[in-house]
Structure 1
Amino acid sequence: MHNIIISEKDALRLRERIHHFRQSSNNYTKEINNLTKELSRAQLVEPTQIPVDVVTMHSVVKLKYLQSNQELKMEIVYPEEADIKKNKISIFAPIATALLGYRKGDVIDWVVPSGKVKIQIDDILYQPEAAGDFHL
């Protein structure tokens, strides 16, 4: 299991969303539990100390399915910002939870209905911390 790095600011905001969704809805229970697990094992650092090659909230990443070489671009966002048409994927989505805190070049085993696939973080096209956008 890889070590993952998450900014303290992202962790705080994610815990707030988790608390809100647990209080207001029975939806996303499995997803919230998975995200909570990831947060509990993460190394938390100041936003200014996040390495530029780490996937954070609002990062735009380019992924590659290693079996097919198919590529996919997506932005990891908070649930209220999700918009599949704009490739903005909620952190509650299993793929987003699986990517958070990992680094460019890392390979993730992701379980899909047809089995397990290997996805590589091919590139981080935008990371708020690297761009100095600490308000996101």
Structure 2
Amino acid sequence: MKYKNLIIEKKEFVLLKRYMNLMGYYKDETLLKSVKKLQEELGSAQIFDEADMPKDVIRFNTKITIVSQNGWHRTFKLVLPKDSDVKNDKVSILTPMGAAVMGYAESDSISWEFPSGEQILTIEKVEQDNQYININMVL
């Protein structure tokens, strides 16, 4: 891991904590495992102000290209649940894939549980398209 811990922007951290508190009510076991793992990682995350965020760290509205150990590639944008649109490659933070990549950096490898089983993913490319998130308007 490039930065030793997840790196999360301060407002996004607050929003993630709110989402994680709501997720305990979901019944999907894979999603619950993802949420629990993300919660654990958030416990040791480094929290940065907007101006100090490294450009290679995945956050909301980041376009990510990943490759799996099996060789498949995927490019998608990590979005808030209300903006999720799988057909247009917009993946919600409240999915196993979204939870897996949040706070990681370009070139990091991640081992994560998906419905198809555990996968090892490498983040090939990170492109920022960050927009101000008003956390009071989201939930």
Common fold by TM > 0.5: yes
Q: How does 1:88-99 map to 2 (within 5 A)?
A: 88-99=90-101
Task: Kindly report which structure 2 residues correspond to 1:41-120, keeping only aligned pairs within 5 A, or say none.
Answer: 41-68=44-71, 70-120=72-122
Deviation at 1:14, TM superposition (A): 1.8
2:35/2:99 contact within 8 Å kept: no
> SS state of the match for residue 113, structure 2?
strand
Q: Displacement of 1:9 after TM fit? A: 1.1
- Aligned equivalents of 1:63 and 1:105: distance in 2? 9
Candidates 14, 35, 40, aligned match of 1:37:
40
Instruction: Compute the displacement of 1:121 (Å).
Output: 0.3
Do the aligned partners of residues 47 and 65 (structure 1) sit closer, same or farther apart at CA in structure 2, a change above 3 Å counting?
A: same
C-alpha contact 1:108 1:118 (8 A) present in aligned 2: yes
Q: Spell out structure 1 runs of 4+ moving beyond 4 A.
A: none
**Cα root mean square deviation, aligned:** 2.3
Partner Cα distance (1:7, 1:110) in 2: 22
Q: Secondary structure at the match of 2:107?
A: coil
1:84 Cα deviation from its structure 2 partner: 1.0
2:100, 2:115 → 1: CA distance? 16
Number of matched pairs = 127
Percent pairwise identity: 25
TM superposition shift of 1:113: 4.5
* Aligned counterparts of 2:118 and 2:19: Cα–Cα separation in 1: 29
Identify the match of residue 5 of structure 1 among 7, 13, 18. Answer: 7
What's the TM-score, normalizing by structure 2?
0.77
What are the Cα deviations for residues 58-108 of structure 1, in whole angstroms up to 9, with x where unaligned?
Answer: 11101111332x210111112222111111111121121111111100111
Q: TM-score, normalised by structure 1?
A: 0.79
Which amino acid is 1:95 matched to?
Answer: M
Which stretches in structure 1 are left out of the alignment for 5+ residues? none
Per the alignment, in what secondary structure is the counterpart of residue 64 of structure 2? Answer: strand
Q: Match for residue 27 of structure 1?
A: 26
Stretches of structure 2 that go unaligned for 5 or more consecutive residues are 134-139
- Which one is further off, 33-42 or 98-107? 33-42
SS of corresponding position for 2:125:
strand
